[in-house]
Structure formats: C-alpha cells, structure tokens
C-alpha cells in the first residue's frame, strides 16, 4: 500500500521526474547495487533536468512567440544591406547581457520578424523571460478603461528580461497610442531592461502612424539611447518565395 502511494506522494512534493521513473530507478539501484548517495544523485539530476524542461516550456508559452523559421534558413546573401555581425551578436545575446536595445528597420518581408523571433527563442533557451507582442497587440492590451488594470499591464511588460515589440508602423493609431507605447517602454528604460523592436518606418516617419503624439521624440530617445539600430535593405523574401513556387508549378505543368 505504501509503495502504491509513493508516486502520488512524490508528485505532491513536486518530484514529478522521480514519480514517473520510480520503478526504473529502483530496479537500476538494485541491479547495479547503487549506494544511497548514488541513488540520491541520480534522483536530483533527473529532477533538475525535468524542472529545467518544464521551466523552458512555461517561458515559451508565456512569451507567445508562435511559429517561426530557424535562422539557419535565413539567406544572408539576399539582402542588399544587412549587418550580419551585429545580428549574430544579438543572437548570442550580447545586447541582452549589456542591458541594451536592438532596433530592426526595414520594409515588409525582409526577415525582421524571423530574426526577432530567433533572438527571442535564444533568450528563452538561455533561461531568460521573454514577452513577444506586435505593437498593435501591446497598444490594444493597454487600451482599457480601468487605470488599475492598465497599471498592472504596464508592470507586466516591465518585468521580463526581454520585451519584443514587432511591427511598429504597420498600422495607424489614434492620438493616445503613442502614450500607451511610451508607458510600456519608459519603465524598462529606467531599469535598463532590454527591448527588441522591429519597424518598417524610419523614426522620422513615426508621426505618420502616431498622429499628433507629443511624446514621439522622447519615446524614440528612450529606445535609441542604449541601442543598436540596424537597417535591412532587401526585396521581400515572401515575394521571392511566391515567385519561386510559381516558377516550380509552371515547370511541373
């Protein structure tokens, strides 16, 4: 009866890996005549691996990165202009360790989101907490009537080691959107917590999507004060892939 209850009790204590592999562990300990210390070491190692796996899984889910192509599939020869060494340093998380920001500027379809998601994925696998949101999602999330809820949401965006804000400039917003974006960015600036931002617009053109916003200059200043800003110039990868698929279909037909 006690042995039957043991897995349940182990799970109640949070020892999920031990509970799942208890029979194998006991059989191996008996067969190999393991010492009590060796059994404990095996148990601890299994629990550490399991907790690391579960922690990684939680960080991935909370980040909301979604699906993405590996950077290994990125064609570095396609862009007319790209700072590969800077991006590779970002993938190695140099900017995150230094408390700096990374801003990717380029037209639609040049790989900004792909790069941003690969950097975010690298940060998660390195043990960092990450939130990945489009600018539209972040602004919509903060556009609530309750000041208390807005404060809680701003605090949520200030906590992770890395905040990724994708697609700034893809949509136009009302007069208050820039203020909401500033509210999310400013606490991170004050705490020197890294941000990764992608935009299809030069900073001077942000007034076209944030009309009548008085905080744009200050917002851009906060983003770029401790930042690496890089421009990607290329024809659209998506257009190239579409044309390649059409060419292949034409050959088959």
CA distance 59 to 128: 8
Percentages (nearest 5) of helix, strand, coil residues in the chain: 60, 15, 30
Average pLDDT taken over every residue of the chain: 89
Sorted by sequence, the CB contacts under 8 Å of residue 214 that are 6+ apart come out as none
Containing domain of residue 33, as a range? 2-63
Tell me if 253 is assigned to some domain.
no
Three-class DSSP category at 209: coil
Angle between helices 112-125 and 84-91 (to 10 degrees): 30
Residues 77, 181, single domain; the answer is yes
Q: Which of 21, 46, 63 lies at the terminal end of a domain, its last residue? A: 63
pLDDT in tens, 152-182: 999 999 999 999 999 998 888 887 899 999 9
The total of structural domains in the chain comes to: 2
80 backbone dihedrals φ, ψ, rounded to 5°:
-75, -30
* pTM of the entire predicted model: 0.82
Query: Given this model, what pLDDT does residue 152 score?
Result: 94
Between the two ends of the chain, the Cα-to-Cα distance in Å is 69
Question: How many other CB atoms are there within 10 angstroms of residue 1's CB atom?
Answer: 5
Residues 46, 88, single domain; the answer is no
pLDDT class of 18 with cuts at 50, 70, 90: confident
Query: Given this model, what pLDDT does residue 243 score?
Result: 63
Residues 148, 213, single domain; the answer is yes
CA torsion angle 173 176 180 186 (round to 10): 110
Do residues 50 and 16 make contact, with C-beta atoms less than 8 angstroms apart? yes
86 backbone dihedrals φ, ψ, rounded to 5°:
-65, -45
Q: Which residues pair with 106 in a beta bridge?
A: 232
Residue given tokens 């992770």 in the structure block = 160
């Amino acid at each position: 009866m006690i042995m039957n209850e043991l897995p349940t009790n182990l799970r109640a204590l949070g020892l999920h890996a031990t509970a799942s592999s208890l029979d194998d562990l006991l059989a191996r300990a008996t067969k190999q005549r393991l010492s009590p210390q060796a059994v404990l070491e095996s148990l601890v190692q299994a629990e550490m691996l399991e907790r690391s796996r579960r922690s990684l899984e939680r960080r991935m889910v909370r980040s909301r990165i979604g699906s993405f192509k590996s950077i290994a599939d990125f064609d570095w020869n396609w862009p007319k202009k790209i700072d590969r060494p800077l991006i590779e340093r970002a993938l190695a998380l140099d900017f995150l360790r230094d408390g700096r920001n990374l801003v990717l500027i380029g037209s639609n379809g040049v790989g900004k989101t792909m790069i941003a998601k690969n950097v975010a994925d690298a940060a998660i696998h390195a043990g960092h907490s990450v939130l990945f949101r489009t600018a539209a999602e972040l602004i919509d999330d903060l556009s609530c009537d309750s000041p208390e809820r807005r404060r809680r949401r701003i605090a949520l965006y200030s906590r992770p080691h890395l905040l990724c804000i994708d697609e700034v400039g893809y949509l136009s917003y009302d007069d208050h959107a820039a203020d909401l974006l500033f509210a999310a960015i400013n606490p991170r600036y004050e705490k020197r917590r890294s941000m990764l931002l992608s935009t299809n617009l030069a900073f001077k053109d942000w007034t076209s999507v944030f009309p009548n916003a008085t905080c744009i200059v200050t917002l851009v200043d906060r983003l770029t004060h401790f930042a690496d800003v890089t421009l990607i110039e290329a024809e659209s990868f998506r257009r190239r892939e579409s044309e390649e698929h059409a060419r292949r279909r034409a050959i088959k037909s």
